Amino acid sequence: MSEIRLDRIHNQYVLIAPERLHRPNMSKKHFNKYSRSSCAFCDGNEDFTPPEVFAIRDNEANSPNWKTRVVPNLYKAVQIELEDISTRDGMFESIAGVGAHEILIDSPGHDSNLVDLEIDELKNWLRSMIIRIDDLSHDMRLIHLSIFKNFGHNAGATQEHPHTQILAIPIMPQNELIFLQRNLKYYQRHGRGIVEDMVYNEKIAKKRVLKENGDFIAYCPYASSFPFEVMIAPTKKISSLNKCNRKELGDLASLVKIVFEMLRSQLGDFDYNLYFHLPPINSNFENESYMSTMDKNYTFSIRITPRIYTLAGFEISTGMTINSVVPEECAKLLRGD
């Protein structure tokens, strides 16, 4: 059984999930090259996964010929069936590992990276996330929602077939809670959120901007943590992905494809992490003081971090990263200047 434990020294939560120890290929340098006949995420192998919780399809559930498919993670870090109960034994505090851990299979294509998908396929990918955000938000125990994608061995992927993970938990991670605090103070002083002002200033500076498409912009952040790191964000106030209308979703899908085409042109086939920075999906005692202004000061974003280099002692010991490539130079290369 998993637990979310509080590390009092660092004031951070740690997710203890022994089930994750048995994930495929945890002890191997590279994940296995599964054939389509044995890959659990390939079209026609629906019986290899738990029953789907959502799919974009024109036929019955758990059958072939789907466009996207969401299933419970077989090696889940948290369990939706547990009771949300906390325990304390002296200095030791823990919470039952309540939550949802789902796999969004991006497409039926076994070898299809995001750059290989058509715009309509990318729209389906984003739309599937929106459906899951809306559905999971109905469980009031769930507070923080993390949507992320690990692609390639260097990014921590253990399954070759491209997929995205959706993880909802009953607490606020400390870094997210600190951001909400800073963002509210910034809003109270300036009348704007941090991301909103970052986007505005990047548009003025221009030198790190890669592309604008509709109401979205892609740029290499001023203080990028990784070489060729890219951030995608709205140029107007949109607090969360599930607040996007149909046109905005299309603009975002197109920009995601453009960015990955730019990255591939410079890096070839590369490993990467991609994650969405999203507001809390429900209120609890930790975040309730920030929820009333969320639509006014929070702007969601997507971060793409190519994993060209591995993290080492300095990064692990300090929490800081060393980026060996200047973001302005990355932007020039990606634009083809």
pLDDT tens, residue by residue, 221-256: 999 988 999 999 999 999 999 999 999 999 999 999
Neighbours of 10 (CB within 10 A): 10
Confirm whether pTM is higher than 0.85: yes
- With H, G, I as helix, E, B as strand and everything else as coil, classify residue 182: helix
pLDDT for 28 beyond 50: no
Give the pLDDT confidence score for residue 50 in this predicted structure.
95
- Candidates 275, 274, 252; CA nearest to 119 is 252
Give the pLDDT confidence score for residue 29 in this predicted structure.
45
Residue with tokens 């980026």: 323
- Mean pLDDT, residues 259-281 taken together: 97
pLDDT for 176 beyond 80: yes
- Mean pLDDT, residues 302-314 taken together: 87
pLDDT for 49 beyond 80: yes
Q: Where does the pLDDT of residue 202 fall: very low under 50, low under 70, confident under 90, or very high at 90 and above?
A: very high
- Mean pLDDT, residues 48-66 taken together: 96
State how far the Cα of 236 lies from the Cα of 90, in Å rounded to an integer.
48
pLDDT for 25 beyond 80: no
If one compares 228 and 37, the residue with the highest pLDDT of the two is 228
Give the pLDDT confidence score for residue 18 in this predicted structure.
75
Least confident of 8-17, 110-119, 135-144, 266-275: 8-17
Give the pLDDT confidence score for residue 321 in this predicted structure.
79
- Candidates 48, 186, 39; CA nearest to 112 is 39
On average, the pLDDT of the chain sits at 90
Give the pLDDT confidence score for residue 146 in this predicted structure.
97
- Mean pLDDT, residues 111-115 taken together: 91
- With H, G, I as helix, E, B as strand and everything else as coil, classify residue 107: coil
State how far the Cα of 216 lies from the Cα of 212, in Å rounded to an integer.
6
**Partners of 14 in beta bridges:** 5
Beta-strand pair 100-105/163-169: antiparallel
User: Edge-to-edge strand order for the sheet containing 209-213?
Assistant: 54-57, 66-72, 100-105, 163-169, 144-151, 272-277, 301-306, 230-234, 216-219, 209-213
For the record, the structure tokens of 22 come out as 């048995």
- Mean pLDDT, residues 21-30 taken together: 53
- Mean pLDDT, residues 269-294 taken together: 96
Give the pLDDT confidence score for residue 313 in this predicted structure.
84
- Mean pLDDT, residues 84-93 taken together: 84
Q: Which fold has domain 3-335?
A: HIT family, subunit A (3.30.428)
Give the pLDDT confidence score for residue 206 in this predicted structure.
95
- Candidates 180, 134, 139, 150; CA nearest to 73 is 150
Alpha helices in 210-285 (DSSP H): 246-267
Give the pLDDT confidence score for residue 15 in this predicted structure.
64
If one compares 263 and 81, the residue with the highest pLDDT of the two is 263
pLDDT for 33 beyond 60: no
What are the residue ranges spanned by the domains of the chain? 3-335
